[in-house]
Amino acid sequence: MLRVMIVEDEKPILDLMERIVGRHPMLQVAGTFTSSLEALERYPQLKPDAVFLDVEMPKMGGIELADKLRAIDEELQVVFTTAYPGYAVEAFRVSAVDYLLKPVTPDTLERVVTRLLKNHLLRSASRPQSAAENPPVRCLGTFETRKADGSLIGWPTRKTEELFAYLLAYPNRLAGKWQLADLLWPDLDEERALHNVHNTVYRLKKALKEAELTVELTHGNEGYLMRIPPSFTDLESFRDFMNRTSAIDERNAVEGENQFRTSRGALFGGKDYVWSLGLGAEVAAQQAALARMLVHYYRGIGDEAAAKETIRSYMWNSPFDEEMNAGFFTFGG
């Protein structure tokens, strides 16, 4: 998934762009701006993978803004939006990926997304990343596991994936075999359910071994224990940060912003695991708490633009949050 920033000085067009881009399954809106100057100021904190820039804007046009952003990050992918095809030559002067004629539609966007993803994959493959930046397993906003070579694991059965999810949710602790049988096969008799547990654990071990992941799954008479290394999942990194954080200040603001950007969305991508409902609610509460801490920090240092963007991003991912709907988050001071 690519994180994108949209800069468009006309608010109705910006709102339309945000809806179209936000609905694409491979794109996540990292920030939207009607001011090119504000976008330039916020860019280092948002760190998007790509930007959609209106060519004609007051004070600083899209092409000038692209030059300045590429000076900060030469790998940034730039897409221009314009009502005038004559800007195409100038757009490619700054190595733009493409340009879109207004009004942008889902079909025209799809063409550009294909190029953005191809470029992103090529660059990611050539740039080493730490485990913390790119954990093998992502549990927030999606649920995907990558092999040592970077390719996605294809689970042999849905129950194998669900068992892995449960052991990830409660790592480094014993999961009783009868407990697993009841959680995963509540409608089967005890003998058949336990048989399924043994078979599914075998499939899981085999899949993890073939994927060459550094996971230790052991068993004893009473159950199973999965040990995972630090930063193996985005969920564990997020939990660790939240467990040691009661407020955001200048010492942890960068880490807090990074966690906010990378740890959004429902646990396991909203998969309907009944046993995960309580944990999913806990994670959602922590995500809301982090958003509140960031808003409080940004307003404390007088950065209302950053506070507003944090609120907007949170509301985008959690539109039904009760505190937000009750007016906890406001765009005022």
Q: Tell me if 131 is assigned to some domain.
A: no
Judgement on whether residues 122 and 7 belong to the same structural domain of the protein: yes
pLDDT confidence of 333, banded at 50, 70, 90? Answer: very low
Q: What DSSP letter does each residue of 122-140 carry, written as one string?
A: HHHHHS---TTTS-SEE-B
Judgement on whether residues 27 and 102 belong to the same structural domain of the protein: yes
Q: What does the pLDDT look like over 198-253, one tens digit per residue?
A: 999 999 999 999 999 989 999 888 899 999 988 899 999 999 999 999 999 888 88
Judgement on whether residues 197 and 295 belong to the same structural domain of the protein: no
Judgement on whether residues 300 and 242 belong to the same structural domain of the protein: yes
Q: Tell me if 333 is assigned to some domain.
A: no
What SS3 state is found at 216? strand
Q: Is the pLDDT of residue 23 over 60?
A: yes
Judgement on whether residues 12 and 102 belong to the same structural domain of the protein: yes
pLDDT of residue 86: 66
What is the 8-class DSSP label of residue 272? -
Q: Tell me if 142 is assigned to some domain.
A: yes
Structural domain range at position 38: 2-126
Q: Tell me if 107 is assigned to some domain.
A: yes
Q: Kindly report the CATH number assigned to the domain that includes residue 69.
A: 3.40.50.2300
Cα-based torsion angle of the residue sequence 257, 300, 9, 108 in order, rounded to the nearest 10 degrees: 20
Quick one: which of 83, 81, 112, 117 has its CA closest to 97? Answer: 112
Judgement on whether residues 284 and 262 belong to the same structural domain of the protein: yes
Length of the chain: 333
Judgement on whether residues 194 and 278 belong to the same structural domain of the protein: no
Q: Tell me if 62 is assigned to some domain.
A: yes
pLDDT of residue 294: 93
Judgement on whether residues 187 and 265 belong to the same structural domain of the protein: no
Phi-psi region of 315 (alpha: psi -120 to 50; beta: other; left: phi over 0): alpha
Q: How many domains does the chain have?
A: 3
Query: Is the pTM above the cut of 0.85?
Result: no
Q: Tell me if 79 is assigned to some domain.
A: yes
Q: What does the pLDDT look like over 68-119, one tens digit per residue?
A: 999 999 889 999 998 876 655 555 555 678 888 888 999 889 889 888 887 8
Judgement on whether residues 221 and 246 belong to the same structural domain of the protein: no
